[in-house]
Structure 1
Amino acid sequence: MNDEPARPIVLFVDDEDNILKALQRLTMDEEFDTEIANSGDAALRKLTTLQDVALIVSDQRMPGMNGAEFLQQSQQLAPDAIRMLLTGYSDISAAADAINKGGASRYLNKPWQDEDLLQTLRGAVETWRLSSENKRLQAIVQAQNEELKQWNENLKNRVLQQTTAIRKKADDLNEALIQLKHNYNGIISAFSNLVEMQGQRMQQHARNVAELATSAAREYGLMPEEIEIIRTAALLHDIGEIGIPDRVLEKSQEYMTQDDLQLYSQHPVRGQMAIDSIVDLRPAGVLIRHHHENYNGTGFPDRLKGDQIPIGARILAYADQLDRAVANGGDTAEQALVRVELGLSIKLDPGLQRVFRKIARYAYFTMPEMDPNATVELELRPEELRNGMLLTRDVLSGTGLMLLNKGVTLDAVKIEAIQRYYQLDPPQRGIWALVHQR
């Protein structure tokens, strides 16, 4: 028996030669061999001569035999191959046939993003490779077990030696399973690192949010499996921002144009879709989708409100806002909590205030006990101003025009005036005011 792993083959099927050539060029340096066919019939003939076919990627609309029909027939010739449908047509019934009848695991769109497609191909080939290696090892163990049955009882030393070898193979298999778990966690960490590589503003953000969110979930009394889902979602919650221009991400939502806000509001859904092909990550994907839902129903993408928002997503939103308050304003822990609590019952679940007040002092910063009747001086954005706040510094426009003197108590008229001037003649800094702790 040859113990060397086979070099996998990826078969592309498309009736357009330029598509096949583009796929060949894209994959020429990959660690797998590429075969092509320009029709379903040609591909079936080729499959009769090929071994170690790891992945079949087929177009849907082809003359004669369509992609779903071809994938269905290909199961007889390459039962272990992973199957995918690659097409530029939005045909739900065709996708359903390819999945239900043809055994397709994914439905991919043309035109593709080269790096996204390569990652998908690599992941599929690696899945096939692990499965093949597992079968290979199982075959070795089975062969050795059969050999053991034929051995003479008098060959005790030989039996002991072979038993030791078999035990080692079993240990290797167990080690492989452990390694798969490590790899799974490594993939999550790698995805999280990709998000944090977008810029200085994101450094450590995902890990800080994960620490805060898991501590809050534990304090809230959630089960261990729920806490693990929240931890995973926290590490990946901004993965949908990959590909959004920095000029959009560097703005707060209040200052985005309508087009920028529409683009930005897609990232929770994009984040969910990015990990949806990994079944174990789908529960985390639900939390990622809803971490920008506001408690009062004004968030996105689905405008859920109150308890309609999953508790994991509410915890994730609170942790996300708290870490951003610290990172963006250079606030102390006390100031950050007070700033975030301006959004209670609007953006955030007020029922989580006690939890985050308690866990914040044990998380990535320390904080003293706070007097609930005390006030904190904060630098606020115009949209964070509330009636009754006391200005602690003069408010000047960008060109130096005096808007309000320090010591003034804000009301609705004054707040509206500040917000208007900050749009017409924006200064470099925010508005300093006293904010009551809740």
Structure 2
Amino acid sequence: MPAQADPEPVTLLLVLEDTETLSSLSDIGEQEGLRVLHAESAQDALAILELEPVDMVLCDALTPGLDGHEVLELIQERWPDCIRLLMTDVSSGLEEALRAIDEGHVYGFIPKPWHEERLRLLLRRSREHLGTQREWMQREMALLEQNQDLIALNAALEQRIEATQQELKQTAEMLDKTYDELLHMHVTTARVIGDLLHHRLPRHLQTNEQVYALVTAFCETHALDHTLQQDLQLAAALYNIGKLTWDDHLLATPSEQLSANERTAYQHYPVSGENHLMAMPQLKRAAKFVRHHRERWNGNGFPDRLEGSDIPYGSRLLGLAVDFIELQRGMVLPREVPRPQALALLRKFAGRIYDPELCHDFVKLCVEKAPDLQTSGKAVISLETSQVKPGMILAQDIYSASGMLLLHEGKRLDQHLMDKLKNFEEIEGRNYTVLVYRP
């Protein structure tokens, strides 16, 4: 067994003027295992307390200089952990001693004439009390050290947690970047695949680039979910993939001029496109948009005759973009529909073929920003005739209300042309929206 540490020595300071009593009390204190110091006056006692630690003070009430009560009160203020004992005459100082005990200045008192056994008992009780105090102090010190250790540990943990969070954040950012790059690669690959069909079509029947531009611009303008935007871009690049097996005649024939057999093949291309794309898990959502982009708001579309909001949102938007471009390219009707008339047809069939709210927003985008007319990196702006300035170049044809071509795309405007346009506005009672290339 390991040896136990010796208990800390207990020092008793006797403050007495009577040398005989001082000697007797000193002997008793040493017999009780105490280290005994002597002081004959209050000044001597305070000087000793200044120089070395004292655990217990036994002071005569009649101490020279200051009385015992005053000495113990002063010790309480300056050395509150020191146990204070008072020796007083029982006939004259008992009431004051009891009051001092009540007020906490004094732990206990010895009446005069003093009795040895009672003194020994008081010293033992005081020593036990002192041991309890020391034990509590040791526990408090241990708790304080533990708290300090816990504080240091918490600080270290917080630093580790912060470092881990930073690492996770960096990892998440890297994963997000990698994921975005992967999606971008998918979109790019999809556009390359979509271009395979273009090589079989004349230039004026190649629609994917403009459909892609319209869908992308709509997503950005309306702050659509990033994942939805990616899926729509994939669908815009690949919506025609189901036509890869068609012959050249079928590809070049407007849908309204197809025979019954040809129409059956035509109506199957969204399903065929979905089937081609479903093999790649990353394209499943885009494949769903492709399958349903020929559905109609009133339920008369194909392949599944979905109606209203049952049609996926992405399919509704894709269908608007496809119809808008294919109308202008002569792929729906046996003639090319000018851009303003194509927009008018979209408005006309809102609520029957198209989602009315979505159609309104789509037409508004086409009128105000015309993302489908951006060529060679040039942007287009929408202006009223009063805002047009000489030297601007038209980005689209302008037609009268009767359908007569007034100004064609690419025309550089001058003051004479602008005055003629304003005269037409007065005659027809309507304002034109003029799309010009941004300077």
TM-score by length of 2: 0.42
For the pair shown, the structure with the greater C-alpha radius of gyration is 2
